[in-house]
């Protein structure tokens, strides 16, 4: 049985509509879950600064593992809300109960490996001399920016004259393609792990394959998502400026983190849930909704038949 469903491009818009609809159904529940996530992150960060030595380093590494686990837990809560059940803060621990933690951490390991490989590739492409020239250019540009002077085009061209520009440009293209591939692979991976009980690597492969086969829907989702994000960003900046005027920088930073975890993150998690629900054939009780169809114009035979 084929696990990936082919969707029309309009499905990308439907994912955004679905996530706003889900958020409207239980805004306080999702805000409570997001606030719990924020508090857990604060506690772990505080412990990492208070505990000295190797134990503190271990706690700092733990902070990297918290986000994928909390993301999976919020996904589970969104699924519960979609099924008509309440979303609880305790759902953040659901990946631990279901033994899904190691699978949710696979993308993090892949990202670390990708950074190491791309760094090694850059060193192979430009060599030690290229790294030395690049560091010298960055040092000179930092000195010029500190002095407050404007960098003239001729001066900029003279600074980068000794750099292997073509090889660096090729490497940056490879970085961009790698980032796109990783983004597609990680898009629905948590939902496949949490709900369909897929292994971490298999979920990455399925997510990448599903996003590529439904690239039209992904493009529509990305474009409309950027437009929605820009509108939300304007409101976000207004709220932050008001908070800064009233309570200063600390209050503005607190409000920014609060909005991120109680509004923006649940909306993104809901979009991932909606995409997963439509894009894949599921093994569990959550049946996939029907594939959206574009309306067709009736033919002459249909008219006469009516």
Please report, in tens digits, the pLDDT of each residue of the chain (306 residues total). Answer: 458 889 999 999 999 999 999 999 999 999 999 999 999 888 888 887 777 777 777 777 777 888 899 999 999 999 999 999 999 999 999 999 999 999 999 999 999 999 999 989 988 888 887 777 777 777 777 777 777 777 667 666 676 666 777 888 899 999 999 999 999 999 999 999 999 999 999 999 999 999 999 999 999 999 999 998 888 888 888 888 888 888 788 888 888 888 888 999 999 999 999 999 999 876 554 555 555 655 444 444 443 333
> What token pair was written down for 37?
């996530």
Instruction: Please state, in angstroms and rounded to a whole number, the distance separating the CA atoms of residues 121 and 144.
Output: 30
Q: How many CA atoms lie within 13 A of 202 on its CB side?
A: 9
pTM value?
0.82
Rg, Å, the chain Cα set:
24
Instruction: Please state, in angstroms and rounded to a whole number, the distance separating the CA atoms of residues 110 and 107.
Output: 5
Instruction: Please state, in angstroms and rounded to a whole number, the distance separating the CA atoms of residues 145 and 194.
Output: 48
Instruction: Please state, in angstroms and rounded to a whole number, the distance separating the CA atoms of residues 231 and 238.
Output: 11
Is residue 74 within 8 Å of 34, Cβ to Cβ?
yes
Instruction: Please state, in angstroms and rounded to a whole number, the distance separating the CA atoms of residues 218 and 269.
Output: 15
Cα–Cα distance list, 146 to 149, 151, 287 (Å): 8, 12, 59
């Amino acid at each position: 049985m084929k696990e990936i469903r082919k969707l029309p491009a309009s499905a990308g818009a439907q994912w955004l509509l679905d996530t706003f609809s889900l958020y409207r159904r239980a805004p306080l529940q999702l805000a409570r879950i997001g606030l719990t996530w924020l508090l857990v992150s604060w506690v772990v960060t505080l412990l990492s600064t208070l505990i000295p030595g190797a134990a503190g380093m271990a706690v700092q590494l733990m902070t990297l593992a918290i986000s994928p686990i909390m993301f999976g837990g919020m996904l589970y809560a969104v699924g519960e809300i979609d099924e008509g059940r309440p979303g609880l803060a305790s759902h953040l621990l659901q990946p631990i109960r279901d033994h899904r933690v190691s699978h949710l951490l696979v993308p993090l390991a892949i990202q670390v490996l990708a950074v190491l490989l791309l760094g090694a590739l850059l060193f192979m492409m430009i060599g030690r001399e290229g790294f030395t020239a690049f560091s010298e250019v960055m040092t000179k540009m930092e000195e010029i920016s500190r002095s407050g002077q404007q960098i003239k085009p001729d001066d900029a061209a003279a600074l980068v004259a000794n750099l292997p520009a073509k090889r660096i440009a090729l490497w940056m293209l490879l970085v961009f393609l790698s980032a796109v591939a990783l983004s597609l692979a990680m898009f629905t991976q948590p939902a496949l792990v949490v709900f369909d009980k897929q292994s971490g690597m298999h979920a990455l492969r399925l997510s990448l394959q599903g996003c590529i086969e439904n690239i039209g829907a992904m493009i529509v989702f990305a474009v409309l998502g950027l437009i929605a994000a820009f509108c939300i960003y304007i409101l976000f900046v207004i709220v932050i400026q008001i908070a800064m005027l009233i309570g200063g920088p600390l209050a503005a930073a607190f409000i920014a983190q609060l909005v991120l975890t109680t509004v923006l993150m649940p909306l993104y998690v809901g979009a991932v849930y909606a995409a997963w629900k439509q894009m894949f054939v599921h093994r569990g009780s959550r049946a996939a909704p029907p594939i959206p169809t574009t309306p067709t114009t009736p033919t002459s035979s249909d008219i006469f038949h009516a």
